[in-house]
Amino acid sequence: MNLWIEKKKILITCPKGIVPWLADEVRALGFPILREGEAAVETEGTLADTMRLNLHVRTGHRVLFLIEAFEAMNPEGLYTGIRKIPWEDFLHEGGAHAYLCVTSTADTPTINDARFVNVKTKDAIVDRLVERCGLRPDSGPDRDRAVVHVYWKGNEILVYLDTSGEPLSRRGYRKIPLAAPMQETLAAAVILAMGWKGRTSFVNPMCGSGTLAIEAALFAEGRAPGLLRSNYGFIHLKGFDPAAWRKIRAEAHGMQKETAAKIIATDIDPKAVAAARQNARTAGVEKLITFTVCPFAQTPVPERGGVVILNPPYGERTGELSRLTGLYREIGDFFKQKCGDYLGY
C-alpha cells in the first residue's frame, strides 16, 4: 500500500463556525469539497497532497488522512480491526522516527474514556509491527513525530494518519502569548471573513500579543503560514520524500509578494506591544507592521480607508458588564470620529 500516490479521503479540522472559510481555502488550492461538517471539511488526495495542505491552509487545525474504516462493537473489535492494518507500510519500526502517538475521539456506549481507545490502538499497532518486523517502536503523548488518530462513533471506526502532528494553529511565532491570546487559525478566519484583500490599511487597536496583525501581514504578503514550521507528522512516515517537500516549500516561497498595505497595531500596555513586536520579528513580518504604545482612541488611522478591528474585553464575569459600558461608548466614538472611511469590526 503506497499512500503517497493512492487517493484517500482527507479530513481537515477547524474551530466551529469557520468551516465556510476553510472550504474556500481548500477549493482555492485545487481540492474538491466532498463534505462540510460542523468543525471540519472533507476532501480527497494522496498523502503527498497533505504536504501542500499543511503548508498553505490558514484556518485549519489538523490534516487527517484516512487509511481505514471498519465497524466494531467493543474494544476487542477495535483491537482486531487496527491490527489488520499494514502499519509496516507507513510507520517506522526502528530508528530515529520509530515513535508513535495515538489520539482519539470516542462516542460509543462501550467506551467511557478515550484514553482506553488510545492504549488499545497503540497495543494493536505495536503488536502488528513486532509480529511483522520484530521491532517495537516507542510511544507516548508527544505529537512531534508519527501520530495516529482514531474516530469512533457508534459502531463506525475511522483510522487516520494525523499528518500535521502538532496543531496547525501553532505556527511557531507566538513565543510570548500573554493572557487569553487569540488563536492563529481563528485570527486568520476573521481576516478572511472581513473580506480584506491585503491591499488597504489594516488597523488593530488593543492588539495584545499581535496575532491579528501578524496574520494580516502573512496574508498580505501571500506567505504560506506553514513556512514558519519545520516539523510535521508526515515527515516521520515511511516513504516521505525530503526533495519533494523542499520543492513544495520553494514554490510557496516563490508565491510571496510585496505589499503596500499599512498594518498598524497598538495597545496601551507596553508589555503587550513588546510581545507583539517580538512575535512579529519571529514571524518575519516586523517591518510590515507599525507598533505603537497608546490608548486605543489615539491609534493612528491612515487616510484612504481600510479595515479596523478590535478584540475588546467582553465581560464574562459577574459585575464586569457595567464597568465596560463606558469603554464600549468610547469605542463607538472612536469609530465615528476617526474611522469614517473604514469598515469596523
- Gap between the Cα atoms of 104 and 141, Å rounded: 12
Distance CA(310)–CA(224), nearest Å, equals 25
Distance (Å, whole) CA 115 – CA 45: 30
Tell me how far apart the terminal alpha carbons of the chain are, to the nearest angstrom: 49
Indicate the range of 23-32, 194-203, 251-260, 330-339 predicted with least confidence: 330-339
Mean pLDDT of 175-193: 89
For residues 30 and 53, give the distance between their C-alpha atoms in angstroms, rounded to a whole number. Answer: 10
SS3 234: helix
Return the minimum-mean-pLDDT range out of 62-76, 258-272, 284-298, 308-322: 308-322
Beta bridge partners of 56: none
Chain position carrying cell 484517500: 8
* Residue 104 pLDDT greater than 70, yes or no: yes
pTM of the complete model? 0.93
Which residue stretches of the chain are H helix?
A: 19-28, 49-56, 75-83, 114-133, 184-194, 211-221, 242-254, 270-283, 320-338
Residues 6+ apart with CB under 8 A from 81: 68, 70, 71, 72, 157, 159
What pLDDT, on the 0 to 100 scale, is given for residue 261? Answer: 95
pLDDT at site 1:
73
* pLDDT tens-digit map of 307-326: 999 988 776 544 566 677 88
Q: Residue 315: what pLDDT?
A: 61
For residue 181, name the pLDDT band (cuts at 50, 70, 90): confident
Please say whether the beta carbons of 159 and 150 come within 8 A.
yes
Under the banding of pLDDT at 50, 70 and 90, the label for residue 281 is very high
Q: What is the DSSP string of 11-24?
A: EEE--TT-HHHHHH
Residue 263 main-chain phi, psi, to 5 deg: -115, 120
The 8-class DSSP code of residue 91 comes to B
Mean pLDDT of the chain: 93
Give me the residue spans of the domains in the chain.
8-162, 184-224+258-344
Domain 8-162 carries which CATH code?
Answer: 3.30.2130.30
CB contact at 8 A, 248 and 226 = no
Please list, in sequence order, all residues whose beta carbon lies within 8 angstroms of the beta carbon of residue 77, skipping any fewer than 6 positions away: 71
Lowest mean pLDDT among 83-97, 208-222, 320-334: 320-334
Architecture of domain 184-224+258-344: 3-Layer(aba) Sandwich (3.40)
What does the pLDDT read at residue 51?
Answer: 98
Per-residue pLDDT for 166 more than 90? Answer: yes
Give pLDDT, residue 318: 42
- Please tell me the number of Cα atoms within 13 Å of 114 on its side-chain side: 11
Distance CA 86, CA 81 (A): 11
CA torsion sign for 320, 325, 330, 335 is positive
With cut-offs at 50, 70 and 90, classify the pLDDT of residue 219. very high
33-87 pLDDT, tens per residue? Answer: 999 999 999 999 999 999 999 999 999 999 999 999 999 999 999 999 999 999 9
CA distance 98 to 255: 35
Percent of the chain at pLDDT > 90 equals 83
Question: What's the longest Cα–Cα distance across the chain?
Answer: 73
Task: Give residues with Cβ within 8 angstroms of 269, minimum separation 6.
Answer: 293
Question: In angstroms, how far is CA 276 from the centroid of its own chain?
Answer: 20
Residues 294, 231: Cα–Cα separation, whole Å: 38
Residue 329 φ then ψ, to 5°: -65, -40
